[in-house]
Homo-oligomer: A and B are copies of this chain.
Amino acid sequence: MLPRPVAVTRTGSGTFTLDAATTLGADPACAGVAHWLRTALSGATGLPLPGPAGPGGIALTVDPTMPAEGYHLRVRPDGIAITGGSPAGAFYGAQTLRQLLPPAVYRRAPVTAGPWTVPGVEIADAPRFGWRGCMLDVARHFLPVAGVLRLVDLLAAHKLNVLHLHLTDDQGWRIQIRRYPRLTEVGGWRAESMVGSRQHERFDGRPHGGYYSQDDIREIVAYAAERFVTVVPEIDLPGHTQAAIAAYPELGNDSGEPAAVGTRWGVSGRVLNVSDETVAFFRHVLDEVMELFPSRHIGIGGDECVKDEWRASPLAQQRMRDLGLRGEDELQGWFVRQFQQHLAASGRMLFGWDEILEGSLPPGATVAAWRGPALAVAAARAGHEVVACWDTAAYLDYRQSDGPDEPIPVGTVLTVADVRAFEPVPADLPAELRDRIVGAQCNLWTEHADSPRTVDYLAFPRLSAFAEAVWSAAGSADGFDDRLHAHLGRLDALGVEYRPPGGPLPWQRRPDAAGWPRDRADREAELAALTRNVQQS
């Protein structure tokens, strides 16, 4: 099983076999989980699994005295009992039951006639962390709804419970805002798709774009909720906003040329101005975002804001004098606070990258610590919740090996084993601040992933390793390789085009064509440049 449960007791030869007579039922509290499990199992098995649960069937119940996301799973010849601390716990028990069946159970239609036998077992399990997330960047390359729903299913199969959607960036704005239609009409596409690592030589000249309508967002949110995944939206500001400025030039600083939606990777110098009108604009944007996303956390990004335009802007300099701010970092702090207050008035919590610590943010935000454990400690000390996601452990766009075949040689090497070894609690965090580490997430940036197939290659199986790092007890990686080997069979059945342990498949390999560096020095120079781009703050 992956992630590894807290306690597993094999109870010998007494197995349970699902067949045409098997029933499946649930407490009213988890009727939705039973419906999900019936649908999930009936595709591959062809079994109806009718309710209610009868003797010798599968029964789902809730026991609120247990940890909310924990579950107990008991498989005996006379029936399967799953008890969750909440419907979410029952759902994770149901996901574990799927893993106890043959991998073909993950198919969407029958490829074998069974038998669908589950070993006799007792499992007691609960997650180590409450925030078990994956950030998906849909701005750099748009992923249509079907691909997002598929990813939700894959996250849920790994007992992850947060999908952080990076919806806006320099290179695209991906969410319909009724009040500001040009955000998607103009900001929703760019003139070039861009692939590969040397953009200038490798762009393919095709326009790229797309966005989610508000109904698309509602569908994604509702679909995820049925699988106990919370979708946390991010509207990145005040940097990473070139697409918004291209759509509404009045959001930018006077100093700039007219902006187009970005067509190169790296961080743009085009950032929002700090006028009252711009603050009001993005409060309106966040109002529509809050309508669509019930998530307690609402992301405002806050990362990598280049301050050059503010240094040259009379408006920004005047604002700083009026407010008595010392330096542009404090100005960014002021800007971010305008949204913290606005979100708080609606009962929401500000979520941002660790740059939101610059300036003076009142306690009570949630900080995604991407630049390393030191930032996590700083955020915890400052009274914030922390989601650990440093690039050296959780950036799934980083290269998986330093082999010459690796197709997307960006970042530093981050192997499956590296991700499994990810420890979200910094060693030097004072014990009394331990609870401020609410969890971790892996981050899937898509500059170099222009198709669902490439997303699969980057994400898997490292995302599986991440799931164990964030669910299972600390230091329990024993047997991980064997568990992962078995798990690859499930990914095969799910149609996930992961990177095989032996290296990329021929069609996943690095191109060997004009425009790609030919010798090692050239490649190293390229890697260094890319690593700088990604790591600059």
Q: CB-CB contacts of A218-247 with B at 8 A, as 1s and 0s? A: 111111011000000000000000000000
A213 to B407: give the CA distance in the assembly, Å.
23
Of residues 472 through 508 on chain A, the ones whose CB sits less than 8 Å from some CB of chain B are 492-493, 495, 497, 505-508
Contact B506 A207 (CB under 8 A): yes
Contact B109 A515 (CB under 8 A): no
Q: CB-CB contacts of A40-51 with B at 8 A, as 1s and 0s? A: 001000001011
**A10 CB-CB contact with B under 8 Å:** no
Known interface pairs A507-B189, A516-B205; A219-B144 also in contact (CB < 8 Å): no
**A427 CB-CB contact with B under 8 Å:** no
Neighbouring B residues of A202 by C-beta, 8 Å: 204-205
A509 to B205: give the CA distance in the assembly, Å.
11
Neighbouring B residues of A205 by C-beta, 8 Å: 196, 202, 511, 513-516
**A195 CB-CB contact with B under 8 Å:** yes
Identify A495's interface contact among B51, B146, B204, CB under 8 A: B146
Closest chain-B Cβ to A463's Cβ sits at a distance in Å of 17
Neighbouring B residues of A452 by C-beta, 8 Å: 144, 146, 452
Neighbouring B residues of A407 by C-beta, 8 Å: 206
Contact B111 A218 (CB under 8 A): yes
Neighbouring B residues of A206 by C-beta, 8 Å: 195-196, 407, 511, 513
**A35 CB-CB contact with B under 8 Å:** yes
A195 to B208: give the CA distance in the assembly, Å.
14
Q: CB-nearest residue of chain B relative to A143?
A: B453
**A149 CB-CB contact with B under 8 Å:** yes
Contact A145 B507 (CB under 8 A): no
Q: CB-nearest residue of chain B relative to A493?
A: B215
**A399 CB-CB contact with B under 8 Å:** no
**A27 CB-CB contact with B under 8 Å:** no
Closest chain-B Cβ to A413's Cβ sits at a distance in Å of 21
Neighbouring B residues of A255 by C-beta, 8 Å: none
**A451 CB-CB contact with B under 8 Å:** yes
**A321 CB-CB contact with B under 8 Å:** no
**A110 CB-CB contact with B under 8 Å:** yes
Neighbouring B residues of A506 by C-beta, 8 Å: 188-189, 207, 209
Contact B104 A497 (CB under 8 A): no
| Copies of this subunit | 2
**A532 CB-CB contact with B under 8 Å:** no
**A384 CB-CB contact with B under 8 Å:** no
A205 to B510: give the CA distance in the assembly, Å.
9
Neighbouring B residues of A107 by C-beta, 8 Å: 215, 219
Neighbouring B residues of A223 by C-beta, 8 Å: 108-109
**A150 CB-CB contact with B under 8 Å:** yes
Neighbouring B residues of A514 by C-beta, 8 Å: 205
Q: CB-CB contacts of A57-96 with B at 8 A, as 1s and 0s? A: 0000000000000000000000000000000000000000
Contact A219 B111 (CB under 8 A): yes
Contact B48 A507 (CB under 8 A): no
Closest chain-B Cβ to A143's Cβ sits at a distance in Å of 10
Contact B109 A215 (CB under 8 A): no
**A192 CB-CB contact with B under 8 Å:** yes
Identify A150's interface contact among B146, B226, B451, B508, CB under 8 A: B146
Contact B111 A207 (CB under 8 A): no
**A39 CB-CB contact with B under 8 Å:** yes
A393 to B220: give the CA distance in the assembly, Å.
37
Neighbouring B residues of A516 by C-beta, 8 Å: 205
Of residues 157 through 207 on chain A, the ones whose CB sits less than 8 Å from some CB of chain B are 188-189, 191-192, 195-196, 202, 204-207
Neighbouring B residues of A507 by C-beta, 8 Å: 188-189, 207-210
Contact B109 A509 (CB under 8 A): no
Of residues 507 through 529 on chain A, the ones whose CB sits less than 8 Å from some CB of chain B are 507-509, 511-516
List residues of A whose CB falls within 8 A of some B CB.
31, 35, 39, 42, 48, 50-51, 104, 107-111, 144-146, 149-150, 188-189, 191-192, 195-196, 202, 204-210, 213, 215-216, 218-223, 225-226, 407, 451-453, 492-493, 495, 497, 505-509, 511-516
Nearest first, the 3 closest Cβ-Cβ pairs linking A and B are A209-B507, A205-B513, A109-B223
